[in-house]
Each structure stands twice: as C-alpha cells, then as structure tokens.
Amino acid sequence: MTESSFPSPGMRGLGPRTWPASSRPVIAGLGMTSLGKVYGQTSARFAADAVRLAVADAGLGLADVDGLLTSSGMAGGISIDLQRDLGLKDLRLLSHLQAYGSTAGAMVQFASMAVMSGTANVVACVFADSPLRPEGSAGAVYGSRRVPAGWWGLLGASGVVGANPMYALAARRHMDRFGTTSEQLGHIAVAQRDWAALNPAAQLRDPITLADHQASRWIVEPFHLLDCCLVSNGGIAVVITTAERAASLAQPPVHVLGWAQSHPGRYLRRSPDFGLVSGAAAAGPAALAMAGRRLTDVDVAELYDCYTFTVLLTLEDYGFCPKGEGGPFVASGVLGPAGKLRLNTGGGQLSGYYMWGMTPLSEAIIQARGGGGARQSAAHDIVLVSGNGGVLDHHSTLVLASEAGAG
C-alpha cells in the first residue's frame, strides 16, 4: 500500500464519519453519584458507584464492560485498581489518565477510538474526587501540604499558590488588552446561576444578581468569589460503545461525531497568547471539522468553567464572537434561560457541581438525550463540549449529537 492510498488525515482526521455506521462511537450510559457536600466516602468508592450507575443506566451489566478508563482529581485515590473494586474480568482496555480538566473529553476520545477499532466494545470512563471535608474548607486538599522546596516551592513562596492567581493573571491580561470588565464576567455567573435554579442536581440554586457578583468578596482580583467554581465530592462515569450495540440498549444514543485536543505547551513559559488565546482556538475548529459540522449547527454548548473568564475565552476561541469581544458578547443578553445561546445549561462548575470535565460532559449528555427537564433546550441535536486543564494549557473538545443530529 502506498502512502497516497491512505485517506488524508488533515483536519478532519479519520473521524467516525469515515467509519461504517454500525461501529461509530456512542455514549450509551451516564452515571452520577450524589454530588457536592457528600461525606464519608473515598474517591475510589465514588468512582465505583458512578461506573455501576452508568452501566445500569445503559441497560448493561458489569460483565459487559471490557474497557475501563479512570481519572482522579487533586485528592487522587483512584487507579486502575478500580477494576478489582468492580470485579471486572478480562478487560481489553485499562488505563489511568491525567490531562487535568481536559481529561474527561480525552477519555471519551480514547474510548471512541477503542470501540471504532474493536479494541474494546463497552468502555466505562470515570472521574471522581473527594476534596471536601466536613470540617473546614477544601483549601487543605487543593493547596499544598508538602514542605515547599525547589522550583515549585519557590513559586509558592513567591505568592503564586494554586490556580486562582494564575487564572487571575490571565484574566487581567485579557482586560488590559481588550477592555474586558469584571461586570461582564459577572453576566456569566448570573446566567449560570439562573440555569442552576432549574437543575435539581445543582449545589447553588438561589438566584444572584450582578450586584451580588460585584459585592462578593475578592479571591484574587480581578476575580470575585462568584467568578470561581465550586468544590464538590462525588463521581461521574459514562459508557461508550458502538452505535450497533447502543441500538438495543436502554437510553437514546448520544453520538460522538468529532473531537480534538490541544496542548499548546506554554505553562510557566513566556507566551504572547497567555490569557488571550487558549488551546480551544485549535481544538474547537478541528473537532467541528471532524464532525462535519459548523459552529452555527451547535444547539447547546457546555463549556468548562473553572472561572467565568474561562467561559468567555472559550467562547471567543471557538468563534461564538470575534477575539476580544467576549466581554460585550456575554453582556449583550445572549446568556441564561431567556437568552438565545444555550450555554452551560446545568449551571456548570460555577453553580452546578465541580467534577472537572465531567461537569460539561454530563450536562451535554443529558441535553442531547432531551432529559433536561425544566432546563431542556428545545433544539439539542448538536452539543459542543469543552474541557480545560492547567492554566488554559490543556484543551479537549467533543462534538456530540442526538440520534436525529447524527444523521
């Protein structure tokens, strides 16, 4: 076989559209434990519970699972030993992944490739975390417990501790360059709380106003408390299989049409793009190209929202508005249940629950199935999902579709 006889990889890649319909990847199961201030369970137990729920949701049994991908948050405590916890035998795929907030999207990508190639047929992907303790804040777990030493110790000793300062520095750069304001970021917080009010699984459901956002205490200027995500205990799992297998299962299939990752490699490096452009700018168009869809085809967007600013930057990078115009765009009335943009319809990580990339992914699956209840988007054929990790350093994009949208 000569090189030229291979299909061109290009931007579209060898995506599901180039595969026989029967072997295209589908999300067939979703499992969510109780999320939030749920105490007394280890991360591993949350993970096992989530997989059991997802497999049952799909109408499958644990014996049907032949692939398992695990991931964990800052508290760790999850490994491929989850196979033993779940009593899974003769797996054909097993790995632990870590790409921070882009991991959930990455797991779906790897699982999709696995079922397309026949490497495995039923792949469970799980994230769980338990940073919250009944007494006191999550800071003890999300901060460092180690004796500060070396380069990382120096960064902390210099006052740059954890994600908050780094994202604040990124947001300030966007403000300086484009005139973005804290009030504009507040529109994202208010809109997502309005969505959360419609989501029984959301942790924070009391409506807030722009004034509440502005009055909430500073965490790291320019971020108020209401610019920052929640911290949650719990676990979420999804089950990926082929369209052929999913056809006889319990749930409406959610097709995985396209995907991409982008890892620019700028962390703690000089970068002209810092705070201005993220990996979303590469991954978004690439995922849509693989799916054979345009941005205007997207009915619902579930975007990773560790901070309000992350949403704004991802909207720009995906092309929902021109670069630099994210501030005026989010303040223009497009957001929230009354707006035209169906964005972070479950309240996201700001008001819903913080399960890293599983937060946008789980809400995307719920919406694509049409199971969103009071918050369900009428149009839900194409759902765009983002994952973001590090300090805007790791990005994953998924293009999902309902049965009607996959045609």
Partner 1 sequence: MTVGPVQRDDATAEFFDATAAGRFLLRRCPAGHIGEPAATQCTACAATDLDWVEAGGGASLVSWAVSWSRPADGDEPRKTLLAIGELDEGPWWWTLLACDLPPDAAELVPGRRLRIAFRRADAEHEAVPVFVLA
Interface residues with partner 1 (CB under 8 A)?
A: 147-151, 153-161, 164-166, 168-170, 172-173, 176-177, 217-222, 268-271, 274-275
User: Are 238 and 365 contacting, i.e. CB atoms less than 8 angstroms apart?
Assistant: yes
Nearest CA to 227 out of 171, 265, 270 is that of: 171
DSSP-assigned letters across all residues of 102-143 = GHHHHHHHHHHHHHHHTS-SSEEEEEEE----SSS-THHHHS
Nearer to partner 1, 37 or 172 (CB): 172
User: Are 300 and 364 contacting, i.e. CB atoms less than 8 angstroms apart?
Assistant: yes
353: annotated active-site residue: no
Nearer to partner 1, 23 or 216 (CB): 216
User: Are 280 and 395 contacting, i.e. CB atoms less than 8 angstroms apart?
Assistant: yes
The CA distance from 183 to 195, in Å, is 19
For residue 242, CA distances in Å to 45, 55, 120, 208, 396 come to 28, 14, 10, 42, 21
Element (H, E) at 147: none
Question: Smallest distance from the beta carbon of 348 to partner 1, in angstroms?
Answer: 23
The CA distance from 307 to 90, in Å, is 41
Q: What is the dihedral of CA 41, 44, 45, 50, to 10 degrees?
A: 120
304: annotated active-site residue: yes
Q: What is the DSSP letter of 154?
A: H
Cβ-proximal residues to 80 (8 Å cutoff; 6+ apart), any chain? 68, 70, 94, 95, 96
Q: What is the DSSP letter of 320?
A: S
Question: Smallest distance from the beta carbon of 51 to partner 1, in angstroms?
Answer: 38
Nearer to partner 1, 165 or 328 (CB): 165
Question: Smallest distance from the beta carbon of 60 to partner 1, in angstroms?
Answer: 47
Question: Smallest distance from the beta carbon of 14 to partner 1, in angstroms?
Answer: 31
Choose, from 100, 167, 304, 307, the residue flagged as catalytic: 304
Question: Smallest distance from the beta carbon of 275 to partner 1, in angstroms?
Answer: 7
Cβ-proximal residues to 351 (8 Å cutoff; 6+ apart), any chain? 189, 192, 193, 195, 196, 202, 203, 204, 205, 230
Question: Smallest distance from the beta carbon of 222 to partner 1, in angstroms?
Answer: 7
The CA distance from 96 to 107, in Å, is 9
Residues with active-site annotation: 304, 354
